[in-house]
Amino acid sequence: MAWYADTVKRLGHARWFAWVGSRVAPPVDRALYRLTGGKVLSTGKPILPTLLLTTTGRRSGRERTTPLLFIRDGERLVIAGSNWGRPGHPAWALNLQANPRARVQIGRDVRGYRARDATEDEREALWPKLDRTWPAYDTYRKRAGREIHVFVLEPASA
């Protein structure tokens, strides 16, 4: 499967891939994640480390679940609001800014987290790690024409 991951990572830089991916990947990943309990996308040796992030809609108040790439930073999780390199911020990022409480599913494990924007120093340290996970992030930063939010998710205290 390494060849598949390498191919997807190379294609990730192409505009057409971002366009197709932004429309196809979220519903497919969400369904596949729920069907397999995350086994294909998050546990074992995943192609790309993926979690399900559930936020509260800032306008609707309804729960919204989005599959996202992530990296681990100790107990913390890190996600980037790249929105596939599009100019606008993704809805989930705006939801986190309005209400930083979120639920995260990795595999079958579901936990509460509190999100915050990474500090400038954290951003500098985290971007190279994010880029190793998904090399197209560098392309997305250039294409987006905005600062991409990097969120640090810290376990919610009981």
More confident residue, 35 or 1: 35
Total domains, the chain: 1
Q: Dump pLDDT digits (tens) for 72-114.
A: 999 999 999 999 899 999 999 999 999 999 999 998 899 999 9
Domain ranges, residue 16: 2-155
Higher pLDDT, 83 or 158: 83
Long-range contacts of 72-76 (CB under 8 A, 24+ apart): 73/126, 73/129, 73/152, 75/154, 75/155, 76/152, 76/153, 76/154, 76/155
Is 33 a residue whose pLDDT tops 90?
A: no
List helix spans (H) across 61-154. 91-98, 120-133, 136-144
**What pLDDT is recorded for position 107?**
86
Q: How high is the pLDDT of residue 12?
A: 74
% of the chain residues with pLDDT over 70: 87
Indicate if the pLDDT at residue 42 is higher than 60. Answer: no
**Residue 113: CATH number of its domain:** 2.30.110.10
Model confidence at 3, pLDDT cuts 50, 70, 90, reads: low
